[in-house]
Structures are given as C-alpha cells and as structure tokens.
Structure 1
Amino acid sequence: MSWDWQFTWSLMPTLLQGAWLTVLATLAGTAIALALGAVFAVAGYSRHRALRGAISFTIQFLRGTPLLVQLYVIFFVLPDIGIVLPAFLAGVIGLGVHYSAYLAEVYRAGIDSVDKGQWDASTAINLSRRQVWLHIILPQAIPKMVPPMGNYSIGMLKESALLSTISVLELVARAQAIGNETYRFTEPLTLVGLLFLTLTLLFTLLLRVTERRAATLR
C-alpha cells in the first residue's frame, strides 16, 4: 500500500486530540504519583512496624504486578463492588497509583542520601522537625530526586498507550479506530510513533530545565 499524503494530513486533527488526551493523562497521573509516592515514603519512616510493613507490601505489590492488570481491576472489577469510574479517570488513577510505588523509592533514596549527621546537627541547634525538612533535608534531596522522577514521568507518557485497553480515546486508540475504519494502518500508526517521539523530546527538554532549576536549591 502506497503512502497517501492527503489521507495523512486528514488524520492530524483527530490524532492531535488523542495526543492532548495523552498529555493530560500523563500530567494528572504524575501529580497523583508524586503526592501518593510522598505519602508512601513518609509512612515508610513510621515508628509503627505494622504500618511500615503494610506500606512495604503495597509498594512491592504495585511494582510486582503489570500496569495493565491494575487498569483492568480499576475499570472492570471495581464496578462489581459498586465503584464505577469514567474510563479516563480510571486510567489516570491507574497510572498514578502504579507509578507512586516507584516514586516512593525515589523519595526514600533522595532523603537517605542526605548525611545522617545533618539530622543530628540540626537537632543539636534546636531546629524544629519542620525546619529541618524545609531548610536542611529537602533542599539537598530534591535535586537528586528530579532526574529519576522525570524519567518515570516519561515512562508514564509512553505507557499511557495502555489506556486504550479500557476505552480511553488517547493517541493509540484513535489510530486503531482509524485503521479499523479505513483498513489503512501505515499512516496512522506512523504518525502515532512520530507524535510520541515529539512528546517524549518535549518532556525531556522540560526535565532538563527542571533539573537546572532544582540545582539552584543546593
């Protein structure tokens, strides 16, 4: 089948709508992952062994099971117990919860990288726990956290293609629908690859800018 440029250009409005939905899902999923990952990380430092054990099990479970299975559970299984979510919301929650397990480890590694002597020194000069976190620990830990956080966000962008399996009309789903309707898959799938590449490059550029900004915290 020869390449049809007129057909290709006619696909762009539909695919760009899908690309925008992909970006929204990635940004919303990243926000959830950052917040929930922080909760997991802080809870992991709890003095209560039961809580630490529960958090450790949750993180291992989320990391040890496929994102696709988790999406299916949220979208197809939860309705059996009365929890019905729109496809897009289910997909965003699935992405965010899944990646929160990875970001929890990023938080933990960043915090642990700060010399423990600084905790003792901060306590010795009577700084409050809040002051220690805001002025001593986080300014040193955040620059080290940004690169892996950005990489996971880019990974989430690419894995957002799985949202098509729960009927979210993101980029891949729209390309598949076009192919099924026209029996031409070469053009839409090629454009999907190029759009994902473009989005990945833009996210990478944003990550580089964020890394430079974070470095000023040191």
Structure 2
Amino acid sequence: MDWDWAFVREILPTLLEGVKLTILATLLGAAVAAVMGLVFALLRRSRNRLVARTTAFLVEFVRGTPLLVQLYFLFYVLPDLGILLAPLVAGVIGLGLHYGTYMAEVYRAGIENVPRGQWEAAKACNLTTTQTWVHVILPQAIPPMIPACANYFVAMFKETPLLSAITVLELMNQARSVANFNYRYLEPITLVGVFFLIISLVSVVALRMLERRFGRIG
C-alpha cells in the first residue's frame, strides 16, 4: 500500500481533534493524580491506624490492578450502581486515581526526606499543623519530587489510548475510526505514532529542564 498524502491532508483535522482531547485528558488526569497522590500520602501518615491501613490497602489494590480494568469498572459497572459518568470524566478519574497511587509513594518519599529538625523547628516556632505543612514541609518536599512526577506524567500520556475502550474520542480512537471507515490503516496509525513521538520528545525535553532546575534543590 502506497502512502497517500492527499488522504493524510483529509484526515489530519480529525486526528488533531484527537490530539487535543488526548492532551486535555492527560492534563486533567495529572491534576487529579497530583491531588490524590498528596491525599493518599497524608492519609498513610495518619496516626489513626485504621485510616492508615485502609489507605495503604486501597493504594496497593489500585496499583495491583490494570488501568484498563479500572476504566471498565468506572464506565460500565458504576452505571449499574446508579452512578453514570461521561466517557471523558470516567477516563480522567481513572487516570488520576491510578497514577495518584504511584505519586503517593513519591510524595511519601519526599516528605520523609525533609530533615526531622524542620519539624522540630516548626513546633518550636509554635506553628499549627496546617502552617507547618504549608509553609515548612511541602515547600521543601515538593521540588525534589518534580522530576519523578514528570516521569509519571509522560507515562500517563502514553496510556491515554486505553481511553478508547470507554469511547473517549482521543487520538487512537479517532485514528481507528478513520482507518475502519476508509479501510486504510497505514496513514492514520503511522500519524498516531508520529504525534505521540513528537509530544513525548517535547515532554522529555521539559523533563530534563525540570531535572536541571530542581535536581539541585533535592
């Protein structure tokens, strides 16, 4: 099968719409993962054993099951329980929850890396628990974690084709629809690879910049 540039020009707008949705799902999923990861990390440090152990079990359960199964559960099983989610919402929650459990370990390592003296100094200054976390601990813990979190961001981006399983019209789903409709797979699937490669390379460059910027702080 020969490469058809006219066909490429014809399908390019459709694929670009898929690229936009892929990037949107990745950004929203990363935001959810960042928040959920911090919540999980803090709950695992709770002095309440029930809370800490329940959170640890939930984290290990999510990490131990495939993302695709979790997406199917959110989109196809929850409606039977009366919870109906739009495809993109289910995809973002699935990505965010799944990668939030991994980022929780990154947060935990960063928090435990803060010297004990910083906790004692905050206590000596009569800071509240909230003030200690917001003004002392997190500002020191977060910068060294950014490169590791960025790695998960890139990994999440490359996992977005799984969202096609729950009818999200991201890049891979758009390409597959175009290919099935026209019975031509060379151009759309190749372009999917090219788009993912370009965006991944740009992300890697940004990651290297983050490592140079924040690695020294760590």
CA distance in 2, matches of 1:55, 1:154: 26
Superposition pairs for residues 69-218 of structure 1, below 5 Å?
69-211=69-211, 214=214
Deviations 1:90-109 (A, max 9, x none): 11111111111011111101
CA distance in 2, matches of 1:68, 1:156: 13
CA distance in 2, matches of 1:125, 1:91: 44
Equivalent residues of 1:26, 1:160 under 8 A apart: yes
RMSD of aligned alpha carbons: 1.8
Q: CA deviation at 1:215?
A: 6.2
Q: Identity across aligned pairs (percent)?
A: 53
CA distance in 1, matches of 2:88, 2:135: 38
CA distance in 1, matches of 2:208, 2:123: 35
- In terms of mean alpha carbon deviation, does 147-156 or 198-207 score higher? 198-207
Equivalent residues of 1:139, 1:217 under 8 A apart: no
Q: CA deviation at 1:4?
A: 1.1
SS in 2 for 1:126: coil
CA distance in 1, matches of 2:173, 2:135: 46
Stretches of structure 1 lacking an aligned partner (at least 5 in a row): none
Superposition pairs for residues 54-69 of structure 1, below 5 Å?
54-69=54-69
- In terms of mean alpha carbon deviation, does 124-133 or 192-201 score higher? 124-133
Q: CA deviation at 1:201?
A: 2.0
